Chains A and B, each alone.
Chain A
């Protein structure tokens, strides 16, 4: 600190109460900010009568001081104060607000409640995952201070071009909680860090984490009526604090060092060339509906933070009890502040927005044509290089796949990609035309936005795993304790002849082939592919398609599978390498279906079992196409793909290879390992004019 700073007048307190010295603060920024000699606390409420800052020492049941903000400490609707002599490490702070209790007008002030700061950057109270909380504690989720002084050295966001991304969707705890992970701290950020070499060897370059904002795993906890298994909120789609990382995900959470541990993970991921994307939940909070707890927002400014019915109840567009009022200007700024904070302070490379359509609703819940929040995020100077990906629907009936307000920036989870590829793979008719669109990056949906608007996936955390998709016709969610009523019924899955696990070699061989078919389509399609944790080693949830409440082996990655499923893992890692080796698979632009470089072939040309004769008919289950490498940037090989989703093998006429070259087999899903996939330059030569593509198989040739 320079002497000049020390001589500032505001270095010294002007007030004292309850043994604490303080002075008037600054309204911005909101939250708790370390300033010379003290901490500036600032919080907003539009309709409270008064506000009290409540100070605790870490883990103590009662506060050691309560300071009511003097009238002159409020500017507009913002209360701010600088407090001196605080122990930054052991301080826990909260607020009490007094104001009207009038639910009919949406006001639910209750001065008996201690509320956490909406801008809290560290939250205590659930420091260790699954540790039984003290339910009698008067302040459950305790705001703490963050140093925000991490030594990043040269690290920054990686900015991998979107067209080159390969996303791996994983759950922090589920990735290494299983004993087979053999990491030093299972189920934590630190444990995940030890698995970076695995991600690297698999070939992904972006890790998308299920929610890591502080949530309460004990929310709605219950025992399964039959098994007695403790069911928790394992997924974490229920935010307690938007600015705070989940303490229970840190091995050092009990020491309050989750911020450093997460940042260290991110730094190491970046060092390995892997981006990090967060699954963020801004559509609702953990406070539920009128029966839910007071955590923060409800007691600070209920009418501002939530979309309410005319009677003062909570609209439930999220399916989780309440709806965050995202397009209220104050809440909009909070979301913006939050994402800027994560992008700048944590070097996050991108965000995937859960039920993002809610972010496009107005303060009454009606869809907006030009939602200010989405526009602000798209044009924000700090977020300008972050990937923004929308789950383009909500639980209130909005479905915007293909029409989400994009501003040239937003990409979408392409639910139509998932649905049509699943149906095509299981042999449904009438899909060849649609599959041709999906392979090209869905120009039918995103013609004005380009293929990188399409986040392609076949499975994600929500639904069947890849293996279960080929092993079950129906969901089997009995373990969730809701009589199999939860989870989607619309799975487009096929069990290949037997429901669930079997020893039938024919069924198992077919399942293996179907998994490879799905993966091949995913990684050959234009757009951004996303792989779900464990699909590369055939992870199963026993047919459970909604494992949100299972903190157990049902949801966890079993690392023994790496050995048991080494052939499948080999297939995936070679497939990912194949995509990265071939720029013709990853363009930024849509195909033009013409030859604009004079190579003699169009950039993409469709075929059927005969060259130049694609069968778009209603009962067709076959499609072939050729990508011309001369149209790629940089120039690449030609790639020919023959897809046969008919049950029996069929001869496909092969188009002529480029002059002076021969086709080589790159992938043939009908073959067993190691002849199912070869290195990027291809395997055996194909000199014949025809190839037999096995039933329900895909053959890829390269020349």
Chain B
């Protein structure tokens, strides 16, 4: 699992690559902690995430709750059709704003 972060105009963008599961989710959580503290508007780019397990989805919801608690906003980009279906079946989808591209996400998160 790779994590790449950047910041511009008060919007943080985190790009994930690989599988987000029970092993990698706690690592990503730790790595994101300082970044999250500094940014209340966050774009999470999942274009290169090939697998999102139950623990991975839980991490997303955790981030959502944390950011919402600070009146911030979280937008997901690049959620594959398969992942979207799983999120829909399990109810996770209801919580998130999804965008098709980072450009679209920047508008949604502003």
- Taking Cβ atoms with an 8 Å cutoff, the residues of A that contact B are 87-90, 147, 149-151, 184-185, 188-190, 193, 250-252, 255-257, 260-261, 263-264, 267-268
Partner of B22, one of A88, A185, A260: A88
Listed A/B pairs (11) with beta-carbon separation below 8 Å: A88-B22, A89-B21, A89-B54, A89-B55, A90-B22, A188-B89, A260-B90, A261-B89, A261-B90, A264-B90, A268-B91
* Cβ of B74 to closest chain A Cβ, rounded Å: 14
In the complex, number of A-B residue pairs with CB atoms less than 8 Å apart: 53
B90 & A147 in contact (Cβ 8 Å cutoff): no
User: Does B70 interact with chain A (Cβ within 8 Å)?
Assistant: no
Binary interface encoding of chain B residues 34-68 relative to chain A, with 1 for a CB under 8 A from any of its CBs, else 0: 00000000000000000001110110010001000
A184 & B85 in contact (Cβ 8 Å cutoff): yes
B86 & A252 in contact (Cβ 8 Å cutoff): yes
A185 & B89 in contact (Cβ 8 Å cutoff): yes
A255 & B86 in contact (Cβ 8 Å cutoff): yes
By beta carbon, the residue of chain B nearest A262 is B90
Tell me which residues across on chain B come within 8 A of A252, comparing CB atoms: 86, 89-90
By beta carbon, the residue of chain A nearest B25 is A89
By beta carbon, the residue of chain B nearest A263 is B91
**A263–B61 alpha-carbon span in the complex (Å):** 16
Tell me which residues across on chain B come within 8 A of A263, comparing CB atoms: 91
Partner of B61, one of A89, A151, A184: A151
By beta carbon, the residue of chain A nearest B52 is A255
Partner of A255, one of B53, B65, B88: B53
B91 & A89 in contact (Cβ 8 Å cutoff): no
Tell me which residues across on chain A come within 8 A of B86, comparing CB atoms: 252, 255, 257
* Cβ of B6 to closest chain A Cβ, rounded Å: 29
A260 & B91 in contact (Cβ 8 Å cutoff): yes
- Taking Cβ atoms with an 8 Å cutoff, the residues of B that contact A are 21-23, 53-55, 57-58, 61, 65, 85-86, 88-92, 95
By beta carbon, the residue of chain B nearest A256 is B54
Beyond A147-B54, A151-B91, A255-B53, list 4 extra A-B contacts (CB 8 Å): A193-B89, A251-B89, A260-B54, A260-B90
* Cβ of A570 to closest chain B Cβ, rounded Å: 32
Question: Which applies to chain B's interface (DSSP): helix, strand, loop or mixed?
Answer: helix
* Cβ of A339 to closest chain B Cβ, rounded Å: 23
Tell me which residues across on chain B come within 8 A of A264, comparing CB atoms: 89-91
A151 & B95 in contact (Cβ 8 Å cutoff): yes
Tell me which residues across on chain B come within 8 A of A261, comparing CB atoms: 89-91
Partner of B58, one of A147, A193, A256: A147
By beta carbon, the residue of chain B nearest A251 is B89
Tell me which residues across on chain B come within 8 A of A150, comparing CB atoms: 91
* Cβ of A539 to closest chain B Cβ, rounded Å: 26
Known contacts: A147-B54, A149-B58. The answer to whether A87 contacts B89 by CB under 8 A is no
Pairs A-B, 9 closest by C-beta atoms: A264-B91, A89-B22, A260-B90, A190-B89, A87-B22, A261-B89, A251-B89, A89-B55, A261-B90
Tell me which residues across on chain B come within 8 A of A88, comparing CB atoms: 22, 55
* Cβ of A27 to closest chain B Cβ, rounded Å: 27
Q: Which of B21, B54, B90, B92 has the most CB of A within 10 A?
A: B90
* Cβ of A609 to closest chain B Cβ, rounded Å: 57
Tell me which residues across on chain B come within 8 A of A90, comparing CB atoms: 22
* Cβ of A301 to closest chain B Cβ, rounded Å: 32
* Cβ of A247 to closest chain B Cβ, rounded Å: 13
**A277–B62 alpha-carbon span in the complex (Å):** 30
**A264–B91 alpha-carbon span in the complex (Å):** 5
Q: Which of A88, A185, A255 has the most CB of B within 10 A?
A: A255
Tell me which residues across on chain B come within 8 A of A87, comparing CB atoms: 22-23
* Cβ of A150 to closest chain B Cβ, rounded Å: 8
**A190–B88 alpha-carbon span in the complex (Å):** 8
**A260–B22 alpha-carbon span in the complex (Å):** 16
Tell me which residues across on chain A come within 8 A of B89, comparing CB atoms: 185, 188-190, 193, 250-252, 257, 261, 264
By beta carbon, the residue of chain B nearest A185 is B89
**A260–B65 alpha-carbon span in the complex (Å):** 17
**A475–B22 alpha-carbon span in the complex (Å):** 52
Tell me which residues across on chain B come within 8 A of A147, comparing CB atoms: 54, 58
**A256–B55 alpha-carbon span in the complex (Å):** 11
Tell me which residues across on chain B come within 8 A of A189, comparing CB atoms: 89
Tell me which residues across on chain B come within 8 A of A251, comparing CB atoms: 85, 89
**A267–B92 alpha-carbon span in the complex (Å):** 12
Tell me which residues across on chain A come within 8 A of B22, comparing CB atoms: 87-90
* Cβ of A41 to closest chain B Cβ, rounded Å: 18
Tell me which residues across on chain A come within 8 A of B58, comparing CB atoms: 147, 149
By beta carbon, the residue of chain A nearest B85 is A184
Tell me which residues across on chain A come within 8 A of B65, comparing CB atoms: 151
Tell me which residues across on chain A come within 8 A of B57, comparing CB atoms: 260
A267 & B91 in contact (Cβ 8 Å cutoff): yes
**A188–B53 alpha-carbon span in the complex (Å):** 19
Known contacts: A89-B54, A151-B61. The answer to whether A257 contacts B90 by CB under 8 A is yes
Tell me which residues across on chain A come within 8 A of B90, comparing CB atoms: 252, 257, 260-261, 264
B85 & A89 in contact (Cβ 8 Å cutoff): no
**A190–B58 alpha-carbon span in the complex (Å):** 19
By beta carbon, the residue of chain A nearest B54 is A257
* Cβ of A320 to closest chain B Cβ, rounded Å: 32
* Cβ of A126 to closest chain B Cβ, rounded Å: 18
* Cβ of A148 to closest chain B Cβ, rounded Å: 11
By beta carbon, the residue of chain A nearest B53 is A89
* Cβ of B50 to closest chain A Cβ, rounded Å: 14
**A256–B86 alpha-carbon span in the complex (Å):** 11
Tell me which residues across on chain A come within 8 A of B92, comparing CB atoms: 260
Tell me which residues across on chain B come within 8 A of A190, comparing CB atoms: 88-89
**A268–B89 alpha-carbon span in the complex (Å):** 11
By beta carbon, the residue of chain B nearest A264 is B91
**A256–B89 alpha-carbon span in the complex (Å):** 13
By beta carbon, the residue of chain B nearest A151 is B61
Q: Which of A149, A150, A188, A264 has the most CB of B within 10 A?
A: A264
**A626–B68 alpha-carbon span in the complex (Å):** 58
**A184–B55 alpha-carbon span in the complex (Å):** 24
**A558–B22 alpha-carbon span in the complex (Å):** 40
**A551–B55 alpha-carbon span in the complex (Å):** 33
* Cβ of B28 to closest chain A Cβ, rounded Å: 14
Tell me which residues across on chain B come within 8 A of A184, comparing CB atoms: 85
* Cβ of A469 to closest chain B Cβ, rounded Å: 36
By beta carbon, the residue of chain B nearest A250 is B89
* Cβ of A174 to closest chain B Cβ, rounded Å: 19
**A204–B43 alpha-carbon span in the complex (Å):** 42
**A268–B88 alpha-carbon span in the complex (Å):** 12
